[in-house]
Amino acid sequence: MPGMMLGDTFPNFEADSTFGKIKLHDFLGDSWGILFSHPRDYTPVCTTELGRAAQLNSEFCKRNVKLIALSIDSVEDHHGWSKDIMAYNNEESGSEFPFPIIADDKRELAMALGMLDPEEKDQTGMPLTARCVFVIGPDKKLKLSILYPATTGRNFDEILRVVDSLQLTTKKRVATPVDWQAGGSVMVPPSIPEEEAIMLFPAGVYTKHLPSGKNYLRYTQQPSTTDH
């Protein structure tokens, strides 16, 4: 089954979670959303990932992004495991895990969204979930996806970085280069002719000359997203 493709409307699924029953589109409202999957509760790599995601939750909130995790165990397991994750983060006992974890013990959602990892099985031979990341826009469309196998933990600073790029490039006609960080120079896309680029980017456009003589490597300052 093909998984989700960029631009697809994300299914408005209903699922049980540590925050009660969730209907995805209602839960997201006008926010951006990130749904990310985990192979299993009470596993080491997943614990470090969810610990980091919990630490970064306030950064995601500032960007109007709601996080939602999914793991193929029950709500009860998720509640127990969340306490371990908060302790791993050295949070005070009793601190609440800051975002919902979906229970997909029957793997229905994992199957429907193409999240299963064929290489990683549980003790009964059932496949575990891979480490998928789906970034969903306020229009409920898939804007970006990342897919790692169960044995490779993700980098949540990178997930925050791509949100910054997505939110900038949704508002402004720019593209972000390799290893870009918020505030760094951005690229003028090839589709914008030179005369238009000069009008669009009053801060100036710097073109790096290359042997081909094709002036495609054009930088400009990151435009502000608050001006009009």
Asked whether the beta carbons of 186 and 179 are under 8 A apart, the reply is no
Q: Does 39 bind ligand BEZ (CB under 6 A)?
A: yes
Of the listed pieces 44-52, 169-177, 195-203, 216-224, which binds ligand BEZ according to CB under 6 A?
44-52
Contacts of 198 (CB under 8 A, 6+ apart): 205
Residue 150 is a binding residue for ligand BEZ (CB under 6 A): yes
Q: Would you state the structure tokens that stand for residue 74, as one six-digit string?
A: 């029950």
The per-type count for the chain, helices as H runs and strands as E runs, is: 6, 12
SS3 of the chain: helix, strand, coil, percent, to 5: 30, 25, 45
Which tokens go with 93? 């006992």
Q: Does 213 bind ligand BEZ (CB under 6 A)?
A: no
> Which of 41, 84, 104, 139 is flagged as catalytic?
139
Is 30 a known active-site residue?
no
Q: Show the tokens assigned to 39.
A: 């192979």
Query: What's the rounded Cα separation, in Å, for the pair 15 and 41?
Result: 17
**Nearer Cβ to ligand BEZ (84/120):** 120
Would you give the binding string for ligand BEZ spanning residues 123-142, x where CB under 6 A is met? -----x--------------
Segment holding 83, helix H or strand E:
helix 75-88
Binding segment toward ligand BEZ, per CB under 6 A, in 42-50, 62-70, 177-185, 208-216? 42-50
Q: Is 33 in the site for ligand BEZ (CB under 6 A)?
A: no
* Smallest distance, ligand BEZ to C-beta of residue 139, A: 32
* Chain position carrying tokens 């970034």: 135
Q: What CA–CA distance (Å, rounded) separates 225 from 228?
A: 8
CB 57 within 8 A of CB 99: yes
- Interface with ligand BEZ (CB under 6 A), residue total 10
User: Which one among 3, 16, 43, 91 touches ligand BEZ, defined by CB under 6 A?
Assistant: 43
Between 40 and 63, name the residue whose CB sits nearer to ligand BEZ.
40
CB 181, CB 161: distance < 8 Å: yes
- Rounded to the nearest angstrom, the gap between the alpha carbon of residue 45 and the centroid of all alpha carbons in its chain is 18
Q: Is 41 a catalytic residue?
A: no
Candidate segments 18-26, 37-45, 161-169, 213-221, binder of ligand BEZ by CB under 6 A: 37-45
Q: Which of 26, 30, 46, 132 is catalytic?
A: 46
* Residue whose CB is less far from ligand BEZ, 44 or 213: 44
The residues annotated as belonging to the active site are 46, 139
Residues near ligand BEZ (CB under 6 A): 39-40, 43-46, 120, 128, 150-151
